[in-house]
Amino acid sequence: MFCGAQLSLYPMSDRFVEIILKAIEVFKHMEGLRLETDDLSTCVIGPPRRVFEVAEGLFRIAAETGVHVVLNSLFSRGCPGEPDDPICTPCKPEGVSSGLVNTVDLNSLSLTGIRVAAQYSLYPLGIPHYMDVIYRQIGLAKEEGTYSRGKHFVTRLEDDLSRVFATLYNTFERSSKETGHVVIHATVSANSPTTKKVDRKG
């Protein structure tokens, strides 16, 4: 089952155009993916793992410049509002028949050395027990070690870039086992000046 994402990259630099376009160019012609860019965002459609890899890759390329950069992202699968596109046809929950969920082992990842903070909201749509799904995924994020704390309306993650994106992807995949229509809204930040705390006792 395909999924889609709308990705908006915000480098806090007077070179923002160069940084954004350089990142998009890397993924522009990847086979098996659809990329459409306008003045608001880049839409990526394809298999879920590859869509999340593009989101992670775009952000990593921008973050490696050292400037403060923010990614505003929305991931969705099974949306019934896309009847004109066969790949967006709502589906049965992923993995229900097989019992399998294609998640990533965070301990097997190569770390990027870029520490990021993220906040996300999970929407498992079309089921009455949606809060059970949300609480379950927050608990699993705690087990993965990326959970930072709960905030109003969102959950905060902190860790290496690769581990945070893996938790977002795993949350998406695990939730897809329980309902055919899942949405995640996530904001990710790297190199923020607010993370540079001064030890005033020294």
* Position 81 confidence tier, pLDDT thresholds 50, 70, 90: low
List pLDDT tens digits, range 147-182. 999 999 999 999 999 999 999 999 999 999 999 899
Q: Is residue 165 part of a domain?
A: yes
- The reported pLDDT for the residue numbered 94 is 56
Write out the two tokens for 98. 């097989």
For residues 78 and 1, the answer to whether their CB atoms sit within 8 Å is yes
Q: Where are the alpha helices (DSSP H) in 10-97?
A: 16-27, 48-63
Q: Is residue 24 part of a domain?
A: yes
Q: Is residue 35 part of a domain?
A: yes
Instruction: Count Cβ atoms below 10 Å from residue 152 Cβ, excluding itself.
Output: 4
- The reported pLDDT for the residue numbered 98 is 46
d(CA 35, CA 71): 17
Q: Is residue 181 part of a domain?
A: yes
Q: Is residue 19 part of a domain?
A: yes
- Compute the C-alpha angle 126/152/145, nearest 5°: 85
Q: Is residue 147 part of a domain?
A: yes
The domain tally of the chain equals 1
The CATH number given to whatever domain includes residue 20 is: 3.30.70.930
d(CA 45, CA 2): 7
pTM of the entire predicted model: 0.89
Q: Is residue 104 part of a domain?
A: no
List pLDDT tens digits, range 20-78. 999 999 998 888 899 999 999 999 999 999 999 999 999 999 999 999 999 999 999 98
- The reported pLDDT for the residue numbered 96 is 46
Q: Is residue 153 part of a domain?
A: yes
For residue 180, the enclosing domain spans: 3-94+114-194
- Compute the C-alpha angle 50/56/61, nearest 5°: 125
